[in-house]
Structure 1
């Protein structure tokens, strides 16, 4: 996949193995994992495996999470994007499009997650013609829940995952279909 996209402040491109160091730094931070099963990365091999997994998604599903780069500095700030979930069941669902993001803590509260979310929802509906986009967030992650709501996703229900954690299920329907 060689598709490069951009917003006003962000470059969005497929993840590359060269992103592994920055991704590991992000995923090793316990604050980043507060609402993500609280399992920070322990070594760079974990980040490499994630990138390899995403590369398989690009090949199999023609979409996956993208490296998100700050235009002004060229810094990797995290990943954002659409994923086709067909290898697990979440809230009783499989074979669905999921929007998600993860940013390094130093880039929180600057509007980047909102900017990327608006872009990817528009891209999914208008370029990919997705009928419905889903997302799920930790029930207590106020910032991410706020961003999804602000960007037009509708809260559908709370559910308890297999690990006993409360999550929120979000959805947005493509009104142009």
Structure 2
């Protein structure tokens, strides 16, 4: 009886060597990062922020106050949740030197992306869907906005920040 040799797809067949296993793991990581990136791009927080801002301006009971030009309050500081504040603190830790060395337009892009990422992570935590690899992928996307970032630094910082966020999530679950 002749043997039929069929081609087995790479997803079904076990990896034969270390290189093949590493390639499969890299493909899986890439797919997860792509999936998270697509989800992140679908969520547009800018419309929600603008609507909230417009609603606030439409209220008649808000008195007009003449403030000096130097006063510029940050957006909705008082309305930030404890979770969002904690996530932002974790994300900004140890990045001050890098941030201040960036050009102005890169700073702005980095800041906006960071705020979007922190809102997305907060949403994941609040809904109980905080998955470490998705948080890691989001943080990597954010850190890639730093011009000339070292890949190894990016991986290390993303991992550290993900671990700290997951520690926070675990502490909050126990309470």
Q: Could you tell me the TM-score, scaled by structure 2's length?
A: 0.31
Looking at CA atoms only, which structure, 1 or 2, has the larger radius of gyration? 2
Higher RCO (CA 8 Å, separation ≥ 6 residues): 2
Q: Could you tell me the TM-score, scaled by structure 1's length?
A: 0.30
Which structure shows the bigger proportion of residues in strand conformation?
Answer: 1
Which structure shows the bigger proportion of residues in helix conformation?
Answer: 2
